[in-house]
Amino acid sequence: MSEITQRRLRAGIVGGGTGAFIGSVHRIAAQLDSQALVVAGAMSSDPARAKASAEAWYLDRSYDDFRKMAVEEAKHPQGIDFVIIATPNHMHFPVAKAFLEAGIHVVCDKPLAYDLEEAQELARLVEERKLVFGLTHNYTGYPAVRQAREMVQKGEIGEIRKVLVEYIQDWLMDPIEQTGQKQAAWRTDPARSGVSNCVGDIGTHGENLLEYITGLKIKSLCADLTSFVAGRTLDDDANMLLRLENGGKGVLTCSQVACGEENNLSIRIYGSKAGLEWHQQNPNYLIVKPKGKGWETWGRGQGYMGEAAKDCTRTPSGHPEGYLEAFATIYKNVCADIRRVKSGQAPQGGYPTVQDGVRGIQFVVKAVESSKKGATWVDL
């Protein structure tokens, strides 16, 4: 029996220091199922903040520089098995590259990289080194989403004809990036965010959710991106028409200036046999719309749910599971694959990978291209 099957995996983290919301989310998710423990980190580019953040988490080892961390952890007798990347977009590539080259598996926040060239280089490295790379499109970890995917795969929905995806928020209605709000400041900064804010930040979740559930690629799109807030360089709203590879059609809209909205991600899928509907703000339920019958509401934790949903259900029905558990499902799947790979087996996947990350960056680039051309059709 391999040593890797006899212990919790050791994780490290880059970024996510004091004041960063997403760092704690990753830590909780990675440790929720007792498959991993965060033991090391380079949690800030500021040495004092990095040290204080590591002490607050009781980490065994703290580093001032992620490159040094990658080298040191690769040769440490109790070194990390994988690294968590919880930095702004422009740092995803150099951090991931350093750890992949050190032979360390990676879990990275989305989007995958700053641009397409970086994304493709990471995909090449993952293939070359035969390492596991998970991308935290966490909404794929909800039991109801896994149920929807399984139903599509089994042909229960029939031929998919139309998909509607929306992800709408209001947190950037005002220019809060000008007040020092950290999360807004880097997302709206082209030097750190890339060519897009709204599409890159939340539109990619919609794209990924569509392709994850349906198994279909977006073949082409027509996009109209807008920056409604005066002085903002990058988009804060986007509307798109989609053509799917099977001939089906789709609509994707995302916005960060929709007054009164919190984190309203939803998807509706219409096939020749049935329709499906799921809402992230009420995530424990999947609405099933059979042809010629009344709508049904399927609940997480019920016996009629499929194996994919059951595999990521932790509590009985009536006890809601949510955002953190969905995140944890990605980590659970990634940890299982790291164990498989280190034991000489093939990974099983089922979670967003580096290839999904490349698709996401292609989607962003093409959305921006389409909009700049006057909302014309472009192929992915």
Given the candidates 3.20.20.70, 3.40.50.720, 3.90.550.10, 2.10.260.10, the CATH classification of the domain at 3-131 is: 3.40.50.720
In tens, the pLDDT along 64-86 reads: 999 999 999 999 999 999 999 99
Say if CB 219 and CB 163 are below 8 A apart.
Answer: no
Is 203 strand, coil or helix?
helix
Whether pLDDT at 93 is above 60 = yes
H and E: helices and strands count for the chain = 13, 15
Say if CB 336 and CB 84 are below 8 A apart.
Answer: no
Q: Comparing 3-131 with 143-316+360-379, is the CATH topology the same? A: no
Bridge partners of residue 252, in order along the sequence: 165, 240
Whether pLDDT at 267 is above 70 = yes
pLDDT band at 1 (very low <50, low <70, confident <90, very high): very low
- What was the pLDDT predicted at 81? 98
State which H helix or E strand residue 70 sits in.
Answer: helix 66-75
Burial class (CB in 10 A: 0-12, 13-18, 19+), 196: buried
Q: Is the bond preceding 111 in cis, omega lying within 30 degrees of 0?
A: yes
Burial class (CB in 10 A: 0-12, 13-18, 19+), 130: exposed
CA-CA-CA-CA dihedral for 200, 206, 207, 211, to nearest 10: 150
Is 367 strand, coil or helix?
helix
Whether pLDDT at 21 is above 90 = no
Mean pLDDT of 78-107: 97
Domain boundaries, the chain: 3-131, 143-316+360-379
Q: Rounded to an integer, what is the distance from CA 192 to the centroid of its chain? A: 18
**Considering the chain, what percentage of its residues have pLDDT values greater than 70?**
99
Distance CA 123, CA 353 (A): 9
- What was the pLDDT predicted at 6? 86
Burial class (CB in 10 A: 0-12, 13-18, 19+), 74: middle
pTM of the model: 0.96
The alpha carbons of the chain give a radius of gyration, in whole angstroms, of 20
- What was the pLDDT predicted at 2? 66
Arithmetic mean of pLDDT over the chain: 96
In tens, the pLDDT along 282-297 reads: 999 999 999 999 999 9
Whether pLDDT at 228 is above 70 = yes
Whether pLDDT at 55 is above 60 = yes
Say if CB 126 and CB 354 are below 8 A apart.
Answer: yes
DSSP states along 17-57: -TT-HHHHHHHHHHHTTSSEEEEEEE--SSHHHHHHHHHHT
CATH topology of domain 143-316+360-379: Dihydrodipicolinate Reductase; domain 2 (3.30.360)
The DSSP 8-state label assigned to residue 73 in this structure reads H
- Lay out the sheet containing 82-86: strands in order across: 61-62, 36-42, 9-15, 82-86, 105-108, 133-135
DSSP states along 104-148: -EEEEPSSS-SSHHHHHHHHHHHHHHT--EEE--GGGGSHHHHHH
